[in-house]
């Protein structure tokens, strides 16, 4: 079943969510407005029709921007949920087919209120286009300087990966930058360190290694903290989605100095894997900030990297 969802974004950056009415599957849960494609419809055509029927607004499909495609299964019902950003419309949105509609900042929406298939869409609205990762061989002072520089230029999602330093030193760094992270609404992910992320709470999450994915039985942190995972194939992407990770990195896309013996995926294979994943995916490996457009054209949320970003 092919379903299209509209992510309406107003001038204040708020998005619209709708509550499913009584009597429907997942009644009472919130979702992004939209519905099933009818025979002969393209996703833009279906979304234009659905938003007219459900909200009473007129939209221009030429202004649509693809956000993310989420394959999902509810019991024995399989579907492809295609989310499209909508930034321009005429008319005032009304709850014509929902129990209620609500405008909210994406950061203020509790993912637990959303239907499970809509949670990756919310994650995609929150995630930036860049995901810098600290070089693994820098000192504490250099790492702090790199983080400060990245935050100053607008980066809002970073990974702290310093395998050569003691855990106490890494946690000391986090304690120093945490007030600024929270003031800016930024997120710092600790590499592999679930307990550290749990202890720091707001503003800190964890980036799981691929080896951790099959060691866990459930999402290791609450929905209020970001969980990501390093993936290299379809099985790892599926496991990351099953654990409820907010996003994954998929690597290596190109030849990279950090893993010179690894066979690169290349963009076509990356796109096939990312489109089949049930969560947002960053392209990683031999890439820099200038590869962002290419990554978006191949189903990526954005690009991640080390020395090209920090």
- Lookup: tokens for 8: 């309406």
Q: Is the pLDDT of residue 63 over 90?
A: no
The domain spans of the chain are 2-120, 130-305
Top CATH class of 2-120 equals alpha beta
Place of tokens 């007030």: 179
Q: Closest by alpha carbon to 251, among 193, 300, 308, 310?
A: 300
Q: What's the whole-model pTM score?
A: 0.93
Provide the residue count of the chain.
310
> For residue range 85-96, what is the model confidence (pLDDT) as tens digits?
999 999 999 999
pLDDT tops 80 at residue 182: yes
CATH number of 130-305: 3.20.20.70
Exposed/middle/buried for residue 52 (C-beta within 10 Å: 0-12, 13-18, 19+): middle
pLDDT at 179 over 80: yes
Number of Cβ within a 10 Å radius of residue 210:
18
- Domains 2-120 and 130-305 alike in fold: no
Is the pLDDT confidence value at 259 over 70?
no
Which stretch of 28-37, 82-91, 118-127, 254-263 has the lowest confidence by average pLDDT? Answer: 254-263
pLDDT at 255: 84
Residue 211 scores a pLDDT above 80 = yes
Lowest mean pLDDT among 71-85, 146-160, 171-185, 202-216: 71-85
């Amino acid at each position: 079943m092919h379903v299209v969802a509209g992510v309406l974004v107003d001038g204040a950056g708020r998005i619209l969510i709708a509550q499913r009415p009584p009597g429907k599957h997942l009644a009472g849960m919130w979702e992004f407005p939209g519905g099933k494609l009818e025979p002969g419809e393209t996703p833009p055509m279906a979304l234009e029709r659905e938003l007219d029927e459900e909200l009473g607004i007129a939209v221009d499909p030429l202004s649509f921007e693809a956000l993310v495609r989420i394959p999902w299964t509810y019991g024995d019902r399989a579907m492809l949920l295609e989310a499209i950003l909508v930034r321009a419309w005429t008319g005032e949105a009304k709850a014509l087919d929902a129990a209620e509609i609500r405008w909210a900042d994406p950061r203020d929406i509790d993912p637990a209120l959303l239907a499970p298939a809509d949670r990756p869409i919310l994650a995609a609205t929150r995630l930036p286009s860049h995901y810098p990762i600290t070089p693994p061989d820098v000192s504490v002072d250099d790492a702090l300087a790199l983080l400060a520089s990245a935050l100053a230029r607008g980066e809002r999602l970073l990974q702290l990966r310093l395998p050569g330093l003691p855990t106490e030193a890494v946690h000391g760094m986090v304690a120093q930058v945490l007030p600024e992270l929270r003031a800016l609404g930024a997120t710092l992910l600790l590499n592999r360190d679930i307990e550290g992320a749990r202890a720091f709470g707001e503003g800190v999450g964890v980036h799981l290694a691929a080896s951790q994915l099959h060691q866990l039985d459930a999402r290791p942190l609450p929905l209020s903290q970001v969980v990501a995972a390093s993936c290299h194939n379809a099985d790892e992407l599926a496991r990351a989605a099953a654990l409820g990770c907010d996003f994954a990195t998929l690597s290596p896309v190109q030849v990279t100095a950090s893993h010179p013996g690894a066979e690169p995926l290349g963009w076509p294979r990356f796109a096939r894997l990312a489109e089949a994943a049930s969560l947002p995916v960053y392209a990683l490996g031999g890439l820099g900030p200038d590869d962002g457009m290419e990554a978006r054209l191949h189903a990526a949320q954005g690009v991640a990297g080390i020395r090209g970003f920090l």
